[in-house]
């Protein structure tokens, strides 16, 4: 991968062109299908991404090869900034989930809104989660996977946000868990209660 680093361009997006949005939305829908964002309409996905790029507390990082977006990630300085965006879009989100019959996601949102999903997490662990950077979403384009690109991308992000002591991420499946823990030395921190599968919260010390 080192010999090919100059083939990729890493940067934080400050505007999203129409072709770039199509690529990003395809990545979200195909590679993050279980994420709440993937359950929204394309219009609301665009609204969400626009809110991210104009925020001083959120970042949308991408990795490009020529004109192709091969990876993206959303980083929040604190989890609360992500919650604020979703809170401001709650009616749009609820309508999208109802029309798509995503009732389990609605129930899980209610658990999160009422903070019942974190009732078993200790105060010390909640402080780590609430006061440090959070990696909200990350995806690599399918035909670029298993080539070290995800690892290269994540290392570039770590260098960019090194002011934070920790970074947390929620693992949705075993593949993601193995990627973060085995390749990047994340550690298991806690679990958020969810219907069917709980979310594993992982943490990595950056400084």
Residue 4 makes CB contacts below 8 A (sequence gap 6+) with none
CA gap 191, 46 in Å, rounded: 30
- Return the beta strands (E) in 83-149 as ranges: 133-140
Structure tokens at 100: 């798509």
pTM (predicted TM-score):
0.91
- Please, what's the b/e burial string for 115-143 (b: 16 or more CB within 10 A of its CB; e: otherwise)? eebbeebeeebeebbeebbbbbbbbbbee
Coil/strand/helix, residue 135 = strand
User: In degrees rounded to 5, what are phi and psi of residue 196?
Assistant: 75, -70
Q: Which residues, listed in sequence order, are joined to residue 73 by a DSSP beta bridge?
A: 61, 138
Look at the chain and count its residues.
207
CA gap 142, 76 in Å, rounded: 25
- DSSP conformational letter for 198: P
Q: Report whether 10 contacts 153 (CB < 8 A).
A: yes
Domains and CATH numbers, the chain: 2-117+135-166 (3.40.630)
Give first-to-last CA distance, the chain, whole Å: 25
pLDDT digit string (tens) for the chain, length 207 residues: 555 566 899 999 999 999 999 999 999 999 999 899 999 999 999 999 999 999 999 999 999 999 999 999 999 999 999 989 998 999 999 999 999 989 999 998 888 888 889 999 999 999 999 999 999 999 999 999 989 999 999 999 999 887 789 999 999 788 899 999 999 999 999 999 998 889 999 999 997
Residue 55 makes CB contacts below 8 A (sequence gap 6+) with 81, 85
CA-atom Rg of the chain in angstroms? 17
């Amino acid at each position: 991968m080192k010999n090919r680093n100059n083939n990729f361009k890493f940067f934080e997006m400050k505007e999203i062109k129409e072709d770039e949005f199509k690529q990003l939305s395809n990545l979200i829908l195909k590679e993050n299908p279980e994420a709440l964002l993937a359950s929204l309409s394309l219009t609301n996905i665009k609204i969400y991404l626009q809110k991210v790029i104009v925020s001083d507390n959120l970042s949308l990082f991408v990795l490009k090869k020529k004109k192709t977006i091969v990876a993206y990630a959303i980083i929040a300085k604190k989890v609360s900034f992500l919650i604020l965006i979703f809170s401001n879009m709650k009616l749009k989100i609820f309508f999208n989930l109802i029309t798509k019959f995503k009732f389990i996601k609605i129930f899980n949102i209610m658990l999160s809104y009422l903070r019942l999903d974190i009732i078993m997490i200790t105060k010390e662990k909640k402080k780590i989660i609430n006061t440090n950077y959070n990696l909200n979403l990350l995806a690599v384009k399918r035909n670029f996977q298993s080539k070290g690109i995800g690892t290269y991308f994540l290392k570039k992000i770590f260098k960019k946000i090194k002011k934070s002591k920790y970074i947390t991420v929620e693992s949705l499946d075993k593949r993601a868990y193995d990627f973060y823990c085995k390749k990047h030395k994340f550690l298991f921190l806690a679990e958020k209660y969810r219907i069917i599968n709980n979310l594993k919260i992982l943490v990595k010390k950056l400084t």
